[in-house]
Amino acid sequence: MALKLAHSAIDDFVRFTERNLVRVYPSGMRIDSSNFSPQEVWCCGCQIAALNYQSVGMMMDLNNARFAQNGNCGYVLKPLALLDPTVMLNASRNRIPTSKPKTLCIKVISAVNLPKPNGAATKGDVIDPFVKIDIFGVSTDCAGSRTKTVANNNDPVFDETIEFHLTAMELAILRFLVLDDDCIGDDFIGQYSISVPCVQTGYRHIRLKSLYGRDIPNCYLFVHVAITDKRGGGKAIRGGSPGFLIQRRQKHLDDLKPVGDKALDDLIKGVLSKVKDVQVMQELLDRAIITFKEELGETPSAPIKLCVEEMFARLSSNDSSQHCTVETHGIFPEIKLNASDMSQQGSRKLVDLFNQMIGCCRSMMEDAEHSVEIMVSTRKALLDRFHDLGNMATSPSYRKKPKVSEQLSQDISLVETQIDNNQRFLLSCQEFIKSICDVVNSAPGALHFV
């Protein structure tokens, strides 16, 4: 019931937990003593999340990380945003608007003395490790990424940087997981989980823990951590192009898995397909913007508004503006250069690159809008299925309900995150086009507008 409310009525649930003590405990249907994700109910303000302590794994790691921030004394204080009645968490975007967004930049440098996984006696003396880093928090913050696999090395060097953009840092938990890459199934080597407010910046050695939460002797990850209000690991992204264009690491959707219902599984496949389409369009738009700026002799971080002003200044200086017309298709401008003589070839290339950039942005916005529609309908279907499972809990045909419910809950969170990402992409593109239109509308009078 608590997980249902966390997805369908989060605002009301948070308001309820402001005035009432709420205890959430595993369903009696969990005959395998599995655990639900306590993070989802903590983000709604629930005070007590009871877990099956006999079952080790990720959920217990999150629980230990949450209470370690107060010396394991048994309680932590709620963030003020979960106590202020004037603050609303939008159910579809699940963010805390009073929190200042942060960027967490982690450079995974190396690891030392990684042991062989338990039960891996049949393997050789060396392993093929990689590091998986996950953020658990409100749905917009939930993300994960991994490093490359380093073959045959117990002391690997990764030297990779991963960024996470956090809207509610005080609720987030960071988890490092080291696995042995295997074609049959990745084997557990070690993990370390910590609440993000407790993370210290700079170069750090992270002592890995076993599956049971005990320190592994002389086994460390070496990392560098930076937390900033800006993107790019402390380097500001200068205005001009949508912020998502500079972000190279996208949220991995490896955890968006089938739930055993053909209709729902087809919808999930549709979401994965649309996410990939949008990512392809992002790369095309990114490339078009950079190419346009390079043609002007500007750096990729140069503000797009200044670049468009520079383009019009060049067109005016060589009399190309006498042969230009500007057509508007909705909010999208298009420049047409009517001159055909060789002296205008440089201007023609610049105009073609500008039009290509606008066309990519238009295609991406249309693709993102269609993706949001598909994802919203998918989210509704998953929520309906989630509610149906709750109503049919007593049916003997649903003995696997706990695991199905967990996967449904995870899929719903991932789809919600993608909805939010696409909405942000649309907003960024709209601001991007608006800044260009402002320059076009104030262009030299010699240009002809249609």
Distance separating alpha carbons of residues 326 and 354, to the nearest angstrom = 12
Neighbours of 57 (CB within 10 A): 13
- Domain edge (last residue) among 189, 219, 235: 235
The answer, yes or no, to whether residue 245 has pLDDT greater than 50, is: no
Indicate the pLDDT class of residue 178, thresholds 50, 70 and 90: very high
Q: Report the SS3 class of residue 201.
A: coil
What pLDDT, on a 0 to 100 scale, did the predictor assign at position 449? 46
Q: Whose CA is closest to 404, among 422, 387, 379? A: 387
The answer, yes or no, to whether residue 307 has pLDDT greater than 80, is: yes
| 78 and 107 both lie in a single domain | no
User: Considering the domain boundaries, does residue 248 fall inside one?
Assistant: no
- Domain edge (last residue) among 82, 112, 136: 82
Q: Whose CA is closest to 138, among 163, 169, 107, 161? A: 169
| 191 and 312 both lie in a single domain | no
Domains: count for the chain:
3
Global pTM reads 0.54
Average pLDDT over residues 435-450: 67
Q: Report the SS3 class of residue 194.
A: strand
| 293 and 424 both lie in a single domain | yes
Q: Whose CA is closest to 338, among 353, 322, 349? A: 322
| 279 and 422 both lie in a single domain | yes
Neighbours of 342 (CB within 10 A): 8
Domain that holds residue 70: 2-82
CB-based burial, 362-372: b 16+ in 10 Å, e otherwise: bebbebbeebb
What's the token pair of residue 251?
A: 């949220």
| CATH at 342 | 1.20.1050
pLDDT digits (tens, 9 = 90+) for 6-57: 777 777 788 788 888 999 988 888 888 888 889 888 888 899 999 998 888 8
- What residues have CB less than 8 Å from 286, skipping those under 6 apart? 241, 245
What is Dmax (Cα atoms) for the chain?
80
| 163 and 301 both lie in a single domain | no
The answer, yes or no, to whether residue 291 has pLDDT greater than 50, is: yes
User: Considering the domain boundaries, does residue 244 fall inside one?
Assistant: no
The CA–CA distances, whole Å, from 51 to 23, 40, 207, 349 equal 11, 13, 25, 63
CB-based burial, 212-246: b 16+ in 10 Å, e otherwise: eeeebeebbbbbebbbeeebbbeeebeebbbbbbb
